[in-house]
Amino acid sequence: MTRMVNCVILKREAEGLARPTYPGDLGRRIFENVSQEAWQQWLRQQTILMNEYRLSPINPKDRKFLEQEMEKFFFGSGASTVENFKPV
């Protein structure tokens, strides 16, 4: 049976994640409050951030930045905009 959550991004009930996708307290909050569809939106936003700012998931400073952006995306003021970004 599919797990349903009240998604904080979609503002409606939607199919939840199959398993936690991030460790710690933030990961628990995401698992409990974020749908699969919203997680996919975050992955697109994360890719934009990584490409535009040339971030590396190996670099602890870059990982911290992405974690802060993830928290804002799901539970804060929303996604940060990338100046002069134009999708192709």
% pLDDT > 90, the chain: 83
* φ, ψ of residue 57 in degrees (nearest 5): -65, -10
**Residue 31: other Cβ atoms inside 10 A:** 18
Q: What is the per-residue pLDDT for 48?
A: 92
Contacts of 10 (CB under 8 A, 6+ apart): 35, 37, 38
pLDDT tens-place string over residues 14-24: 999 999 999 99
What span, in angstroms and rounded, lies between the C-alpha atoms of 87 and 44?
11
Q: What is the per-residue pLDDT for 81?
A: 72
pLDDT at 1 over 60: yes
Q: What is the per-residue pLDDT for 19?
A: 95
Instruction: Write down the architecture of domain 4-75 according to CATH.
Output: Orthogonal Bundle (1.10)
Q: Is 14 helix (H, G, I), strand (E, B) or coil?
A: strand
